[in-house]
Amino acid sequence: MADPRQHVPGTDRVLAHPEVAAAAERLGRGLVKKAVHAAQQRARTGEIDASHVVAETLAGLPDSAASSRPVLNATGVLLHTNLGRAPLSRAAIDAMERAAGTTDVELDLDTGRRGPRGAAALAALCAAVPLAEAAHVVNNGAAALSLAATALAQGREIVLARGEMVEIGDGFRIPELLTATGARLHEVGTTNRVRLDDYRSAVGPDTGFVLKVHPSNFVITGFTSAVPVDALRGLGAPVVVDIGSGLLNPHPVLPQEPDATSTLADGADLVLASGDKLLGGPQAGLLLGRAEIVQQLRRHPLARAMRVDKLTLAALEATLRGPLTPTEQSLRRDQPSLLRRAESLATGFSAAGIPASAQCSEATVGGGGAPGVTLPSAAVVLPERFAELLRRGTPPVLACIARDRCLLDLAAVPPEHDDELRRAVLAAA
C-alpha cells in the first residue's frame, strides 16, 4: 500500500499557494512556515488528508503578527488597567497609522533643519490647558514623577503628607519611586490629618519641592483634614501636584476629580498626569506648568531615556484636537439609553433560549480615577457559566461576576459593538 506521506505537498509548494503567500506578506514568512509544518505533520500522521494541508495552514494562522487580541470590555470599569486603560479614538488610530512611516517628527520642512520634537503635540496640550506656560511629555505617569523628583530634588528633600504616600497597582509605591531618584522624603502630618503648619515647619533650604499626590484608588473619610494647593503657595518651595487621572479641565460628571487647569489656577508650579486615563489618549506622562521648571525637566539627561515615540505623539495630538474620545463618550452615556440597549440584547438572547434579563447597574471610572464614584449604568444578566465561555471566545468578552451571575455591563461598550456582543453570547451558548 502506498505511503500517504508521499502525497503531502512540499513546503515550497504550500508557501507558493496564492492565499498562503498573501498571508506570509501580511504575517511574516517565519510564522506562516511554522503553520505549514504543523499542517504537514498532521497530514503525515493521518489526522487530515494531504489535500487539506493548505486549508489547515490557513486555518491555523492568527489574525495578526502580534499576539494581543481585541477584547470587549463589559466589566463596568471604563478604564480597565488589564485591558490597556483608555481605548483610542478613531482619530488617534488614524494619526498613528499616518505616523508609522517616515514623518516630520523632528524636522522643520520649511527650513530643512532639525525641529523641536513633538512640537505640535505640545502645542495642542498647552492649548487644552492655557494656564500651562509650557508642557512636556514622557512615557507614563511614573516617569513624569521620577523626572520631576530627579531634576528638582535629587540629594534634597521632598515634603509629602503621610496620607498621600500611596501604593497603586502591581505593588507600585510612590515613596519607593521617589527615594530611588536620590531624593529624601520629609513626611508631614498623620495618615488621616495634615495641617498647613506641618508643611510650613518642614519646608527649608534643603527642600526640593512640596508634593501633593491624589489618592486615586482609595478614599479616607471621617476625622480627616488636608491642605489644598492654594494654601501651599508662598512656602518658599515649588509645589508639584500629581493629579493622576489625566483630567485636563473640570468635568460635570466628576466634579470632585482634580484637573490640571484648576490645579494650576490654585497655584501649582507643576502638574503631573497620565495620558491614558480620563484624557482618553495613549499611555504618556504629562507635565504642565511654569516654563522655567518645565524647561529644567526637559533639559535633564534623564528626559532622553523617558522620551515618547512618534506614534505616541501623533495619538496624543489627535486625542487633544480630535472628536470626543471613547472614554468621554462612556462618561456621557445616560442610564435610560443603556437600559434600553440591555433590554434589547436580553430579549434577543431569551428568544434564542438563553436565560437573560436586563437590570440597572453601577459602573466605575477605574484606572486610578474618581475613587468611590459610581456611574449609573445597565447590564445584561446571564448565568454565571457564561463569564468563562465569553472570556475564551472570539472575540473575548470580559464580564463582571456578581452574586453568582454574569453581568455584561454596557457602560464601556459602544453601541456599535452591540451586534458583536450579541454574536459572542450566541456563540458561547
360 vs 252, 261, 335, 350, 405, CA distance in Å? Answer: 22, 34, 8, 18, 14
Domain assignment of residue 424, yes or no: yes
Last residue of a domain, one of 323, 345, 378: 323
Whether 246 and 332 map to the same domain: the answer is: no
Asked whether residue 397 is assigned to any structural domain, the reply reads yes
Q: Point out the domain boundary residue: 305, 323, 341.
A: 323
- SS3 letters across the chain: CCCHHHHCCCHHHHHHCHHHHHHHHHHCHHHHHHHHHHHHHHHHCCCCCHHHHHHHHHHCCCCCCCCCCCCEECCCECCCHHHCCCCCCHHHHHHHHHHCCCCCCCEECCCCEECCCCHHHHHHHHHHCCCCCEEEEECCHHHHHHHHHHHHHCCCEEEEEHHHCCECHHHCEHHHHHHHCCCEEEEECCCCECCHHHHHHHCCCCEEEEEEECCCCCCCCCCCECCCHHHHCCCCCCEEEEEECCCCCCCCCCCCCCCHHHHHHCCCCEEEEECCCCCCCCCCEEEEECHHHHHHHHCCHHHHHCCCCHHHHHHHHHHHHCCCCHHHHHHHCCHHHHHHHHHHHHHHHHHCCCCCEEEEEEEEEECCEEEEEEEEEEEEEEECCHHHHHHCCCCCEECEEECCEEEEECCCCCHHHHHHHHHHHHHHC
Q: Are residues 274 and 139 in the same domain?
A: yes
| Residue 410 one-letter amino acid | L
CB 158 within 8 A of CB 178: yes
Residue 65: inside a domain, yes or no? no
| 183 in any annotated domain | yes
Judge if 40 and 100 occupy the same domain.
no
Q: Is residue 10 part of a domain?
A: yes
What number is the average pLDDT over the span 344-349?
A: 98
Burial class (CB in 10 A: 0-12, 13-18, 19+), 149: buried
State the residue range of the domain holding 96. 90-323
Give the least confident one: 42-46, 214-218, 353-357: 214-218
Among 284, 307, 323, which residue terminates a domain?
323
Are residue 38 and residue 98 in the same domain, yes or no?
no
319 & 419 share domain: no
CATH code for position 193: 3.40.640.10
Average pLDDT rounded to a whole number, residues 320-348: 97
Mean pLDDT lowest among 49-58, 63-72, 132-141: 63-72
pLDDT at 178: 93
As a whole-number percent, the residues of the chain with pLDDT over 90 amount to 85
Query: Does one domain contain both 300 and 338?
Result: no
Query: How much is the pLDDT for 170?
Result: 67
In-domain check, residue 280: yes
Residue 229 belongs to a domain: yes
pLDDT of 1 reads: 45
**Are residues 221 and 312 both part of a single domain?**
yes
Per-residue model confidence (pLDDT) at position 5: 65
* pLDDT the model gives residue 101: 94
Q: What is the mean pLDDT of the chain?
A: 93
Q: Do 126 and 40 share a structural domain?
A: no
- Residue 371 — φ and ψ, nearest 5°? -60, 135
Same domain assignment for residues 283 and 316? yes
The angle at the Cα of 368, spanning 254 to 264, to the nearest 5 degrees, equals: 60
Q: Are 294 and 172 in contact (CB under 8 A)?
A: no
pLDDT of residue 220: 74
Q: How far is CA 282 from the centre of its chain?
A: 6
Do residues 158 and 209 lie in contact, with contact meaning Cβ atoms separated by under 8 Å? Answer: yes
Percent of the chain with pLDDT over 70: 97
Number of domains in the chain: 3
Query: For the residues 402-424, what does the mean pLDDT come to?
Result: 97
Predicted pLDDT at 283: 97
CATH number at residue 397: 3.90.1150.180
185 and 125 fall within a common domain: yes
pLDDT at 34 over 50: yes
Cβ contact 391:424 at 8 Å:
no
Question: Same structural domain for residues 224 and 286?
Answer: yes
Tens-digit pLDDT profile for residues 195-233:
999 999 999 999 999 999 987 666 777 777 899 999 999
- Taking 80 as the threshold, does the pLDDT of residue 66 lie above it? yes
Average confidence (pLDDT) over 303-326 = 97
| Judgement on whether residues 243 and 145 belong to the same structural domain of the protein | yes
Q: Is residue 67 part of a domain?
A: no
